[in-house]
Every structure is written in C-alpha cells, then in structure tokens.
A and B are shown apart, each in its own frame.
Chain A
Amino acid sequence: MSMERKIPIEERLNSNAWDVDQRPHIRIKDPDQCRKCDAKPCLYLCPARCYTPGSDGAVLFSHEGCVECGTCRVVCPSGAIEWNYPKSGYGVQFRFG
C-alpha cells in the first residue's frame, strides 16, 4: 500500500486486527435529535468515521470500524448516543497501542 497519498479511512482501519460483534455496542437513541443538531461534532471528531451524513440532516452510524475511544459520547451535544463497550472481548484488537 503506497503511502504517498491520503489513505482512505476504511483502508487504514483494515490494517487493524478486528473481531467485530454483529450486535452494535453503540446506538443512536433518538435520530431526531441528530436531525435537529446543527453542529454534528461526531462527523468531525470520530477517528474512525463511524458517523456519516445521511439525507435530510440525519446521521448514519456504523459500529464496524469503531476504535472504542468514546469521543462521540463526550461531544454529542444532545446526549443522543447510547454507548457501551463491546461484549466478550469483541471489537478492535490493538497489536501496538
């Protein structure tokens, strides 16, 4: 993989070791809150781009690729995110940390 270019986030996340649970450990409780949210800090501050803009101001979320940092739950201005750690050792497996 050449590094002389911006490596898309998906490709960077692919360099990690994963054991992704099918059950999401994070959930948007109330998507309406996201539609009303102007700032949407999750779109900018999630290191793994788990949050992407949807149509009509919605926010789409995917837990695959989540590096389990917790940033989204801290920056969400309306507390619309339900945040848990993945169960039973699932999720990202850092080999270097």
Chain B
Amino acid sequence: MSIKFDAIIVGAGPAGLTTAQQLAQKGFKVLVVERGRKPGSKNVYGGRIYAHVLDKLYPEYVKEAPVERWVRKERISFLTEDSGTTVEFETNNVEHKSFTASLSDFTEWLGKKAEAAGAMIVTESPVDSLVIKEGKVVGIRSGNDEVYGDVVVSAEGINRLVLERSGLAPKLEPKMVGVGVKEVIKLGRKVINERFNLDEDEGVAWALAGFPTHYAPGGAFIYTNKDAITLGLVIYLSHGDKVDAPVHDLVEEFRLHPFINRLIKDGQLLEYSGHLTPVMGLNASPPSLYGNGYLVIGDAAGFLLHGGIIIRGVDFAIESGRVAAEAITKVHEGGGNFDEASLSVYGKLLEESFIMKELRVFRNAYKALDEPRLYNDYAKFINAFLKRYFDVDGTPRKLFSTFKETKGNVTMLDMMRDMVRMVTNL
C-alpha cells in the first residue's frame, strides 16, 4: 500500500514543525518524519529565542509557549584565568523581545500546534534517503518503508545526512560549523534571582570569550532558565587544532572558573549535551535551496545568523518554515507540479523576508569572527589594560601609556585592520 501526502517534512524541529502547522491548517495532508522519540528529543541550542516571529504565527504564545524567562539583561565578557571585563546592558522595558527556553520543551509545544492543525508526526523514524525518480524528489525512505509526497521539505538540521546522501548538499566541512557543548544545571528559582540580580520572570543572556575556549576562536554562553541555568561553549571546528584540551574538559574548566563557579555553587547537573551549529551563514548553504520536488529550510539551509554576540537560529528556522509553507501553497494553488521552476517562488519569498535580507548583510561576518586575535590577544589585552590602569601605586599612568604597555604583541596596524573588518562586517 502506498499512501501519498501533499508534503513530507524531514525533521520535527522548529523549522519543519512550522511548515507542518502552516500547511496543515490550510488543509494540506502533511507528514513529519522525526528520528527522535518525540519532537525536541534530539534538539540542542544555546538557550534563547527571539520572539518577533511568534507574534505573527502564534499570537497566544506569551501565555502558551514554554517560556522560561524574558531576557532583560545582556552581558558580554572577556575572561582570562584571573580577571574578567564585562559590559552589561539592562532594561526595565517589559516588552517581549526574547526569552530563554528549553528547546526540547519548545519544540514539543510546536509539535502539538502542528498536530492540532492536523499534521501527522511519525517519530522514531530516521530518514535514510530521499526517493528520487527521473530527477525529481518524490518521497522519502526510512528503513524498508517508502512514503511519497508532492513535495519534500528538508528540515533535518545542520548535520544534514539526507541531503548529503542525495547529492543535494556537499559534505560538511570543518569551516562551516562549530561544536557546541552544554550543561544544564539546576539551582532553584530564588537562588538564580539572587545571584544574577533578576526579578521573577527576568533572564540574563551572557556571551563570554577568551579563557572558556582557551583563547581559540569560539565562545561561551550562560542563560538563565526559571530554575536552572544553561552553560556551554562553542569551538569553531576550523580552529579545532588550536584547542589544547578536549572540549568536554574545556566546558568543565569554564564552569569551574572562580567567577562562574560561585554563581552556580550547590547546583545539580541535569543534562550534558553536544551539537553542531552553523557558523558561516549563507556560505554554508546547499548549492540550491530548492529543486525538483524539494525545499530546504532551517539549519540545513544554513539559516543561522552568527554575528558574534547575537546568534539567531530558531527565529530564522521558524520564519523559513513559514515561508516554505507559503511557497508550497502558492505552487499548489497555481496548479504547479513542484518542479524547480515552480518552487523558485520559495527563493523569491525568502528574498522578501528578513531571512535573506539579514543573512546577506552578515554574509562576511565569519571573516571578522574567524580572526584568532579576537579571542586571544584582545581578550587578554582588555583585561591587562584595565588591571594596570586600576592598579594605583603612586606611579602616574595615563591611558595611552597604559595601552602601549599592555597591548602585547599586537601592532596598531593589526588593531586598525581588525577594527575595520569588524565594523564593516558585523
């Protein structure tokens, strides 16, 4: 027996479930195929979701979605073994801009939304490959089963084996991705409020560089959930050879850094995870985001904006899921047969959405962020400079002489060059 669907979606993550929900509520017969036990059980991210995309799709989300805390405090730190320099921004504004969440919970919630709209989600089924007939994707293969659909949406995430096996994406290269490792640590709500100086539903998002990665390109993060914090780091795989300790040790050293350890004293480890993350934006996209019978969305499409401090994946995933559903609807209404020409409407709609506008602006961000000096010399310099400057001992210390004394091996020319590269690309 062969059942045919209007659309088959590979992967029940934020991108795929959005497409599923959007299509199902318009009456499409939608199948989502997920390898985990339930939606969210294989998802990992840093810790924060930018909410602008939810206002449109799920107006009731503020009450319904599994929000942990609303981020109203942003911290950026350069950390060394014995010192740290932090910029902190705080706002009293209670607008709902971004929130921390457990991605497993959030994805499960999106799954319920998709099912409520009528989509079918099949779990515990890793998709092995696409079924391609006469140059057109016509379905998916999972174990001994083949399922057919008018269009297949790859929402399989960054580790895009299905696209690779079908020859629709090149093998991932180290320069395209970073490895993230993360610990979820339970502290209790009151303790978090006190130690991070937060009100009841307020959260902090904290990005750190320098010591956590042993000064290699990458960075660390801490987010506060309601009762737990998430703490972790990302190493750019292109610089993996510069790391002098295993990543699973680095994250522990970071956690045990005196400034961090005191914040999570008496905590309890709830989970330890790892995941790849795109770090090159559009430069790591498959050669084509659509073709005969298929579309690519979310991380698999390279839709993650990595701007150094701001890292946005989930909002891009959800928006690309919405755009894909809109494109499929248009092709369907136009009586199209989901070939490459008719699906080019997806490309057009992506251009009109914030996805391509923003990703193009940050297209070269990785070039600025790939500079090892940022994570090494500058992290050390800013701390050495301030340490020297504040170390009053009766010798006169003007800013510029302190600067010259502490800048290390970095030349003024390097600094100017890096500054220009950051200002123009970030």
Q: Give chain A nearest CB distance to B122 CB in angstroms.
A: 11
Write the B237-266 contact mask toward A (1 if CB under 8 angstroms, else 0): 100110101111100110110000100111
Write the A77-88 contact mask toward B (1 if CB under 8 angstroms, else 0): 000000111111
Q: Give chain B nearest CB distance to A69 CB in angstroms.
A: 4
A28 interface residue per 8 A CB criterion: no
B15-55 interface (Cβ within 8 A of A):
35-37, 40-45
Number of A-B contacts defined by CB within 8 Å = 155
Interface size class, chain B? 35 or more
Q: Give chain B nearest CB distance to A28 CB in angstroms.
A: 17
A79 to chain B: closest residue by CB: B171
Partner of A89, one of B37, B241, B247, B276: B37
Residues of A near B235 (CB, < 8 A) are 45
Q: Report the Cα distance A15→B306, complex, angstroms.
A: 30
A19 to chain B: closest residue by CB: B37
Interface size on A, residues (CB 8 A): 43
Q: Report the Cα distance A61→B103, complex, angstroms.
A: 29
Q: When A86-B126, A93-B36, A97-B43 are in contact, do A44 and B243 touch as well, CB less than 8 Å?
A: yes
Partner of B249, one of A6, A39, A73: A6
**Taking chain A's interface residues, is the majority helix, strand, or loop, or is none over half, making it mixed?**
loop
B125 interface residue per 8 A CB criterion: yes
B181 interface residue per 8 A CB criterion: yes
Q: Report the Cα distance A5→B241, complex, angstroms.
A: 26
A7 interface residue per 8 A CB criterion: yes
Residues of B near A68 (CB, < 8 A) are 42, 159
Q: Report the Cα distance A3→B187, complex, angstroms.
A: 12
Residues of B near A86 (CB, < 8 A) are 35, 126
Cross-chain contact B252 with A97 (CB below 8 angstroms): no
A48 interface residue per 8 A CB criterion: yes
Q: Report the Cα distance A5→B269, complex, angstroms.
A: 12
A37 interface residue per 8 A CB criterion: no
Cross-chain contact A88 with B124 (CB below 8 angstroms): yes
Cross-chain contact B267 with A3 (CB below 8 angstroms): yes
Cross-chain contact A83 with B161 (CB below 8 angstroms): yes
Cross-chain contact A96 with B230 (CB below 8 angstroms): yes
Partner of A94, one of B161, B172, B245, B271: B271
Residues of B near A95 (CB, < 8 A) are 41, 102, 104, 270-271
Cross-chain contact A75 with B174 (CB below 8 angstroms): yes
A43 interface residue per 8 A CB criterion: yes
Cross-chain contact B256 with A6 (CB below 8 angstroms): yes
Cross-chain contact A94 with B248 (CB below 8 angstroms): no
Q: Give chain A nearest CB distance to B283 CB in angstroms.
A: 15
Cross-chain contact B42 with A94 (CB below 8 angstroms): yes
Q: Give chain B nearest CB distance to A59 CB in angstroms.
A: 14
- Most chain B CB within 10 A, of A3, A4, A67, A73, is at A3
Partner of B275, one of A19, A67, A91: A67
Residues of A near B347 (CB, < 8 A) are none
Cross-chain contact A3 with B185 (CB below 8 angstroms): yes
Q: Shortest 6 CB-CB distances between A and B: which pairs?
A: A89-B124, A47-B274, A97-B104, A70-B159, A97-B103, A12-B272
Sample of 10 more A-B contacts, CB < 8 Å, known A16-B271, A41-B241, A96-B102: A3-B266, A3-B269, A15-B271, A68-B42, A86-B35, A87-B126, A93-B36, A94-B104, A95-B102, A97-B41
Query: What are 10 A-B pairs with beta-carbon distances under 8 A?
Result: A4-B256, A4-B265, A16-B272, A41-B240, A43-B246, A67-B272, A67-B275, A84-B126, A85-B161, A89-B37
Residues in chain B within 8 A of chain A (CB atoms):
35-37, 40-45, 102-105, 107, 123-126, 143, 158-159, 161, 172-174, 177, 179, 181, 183-185, 228, 230, 235, 237, 240-241, 243, 245-249, 252-253, 255-256, 261, 264-276
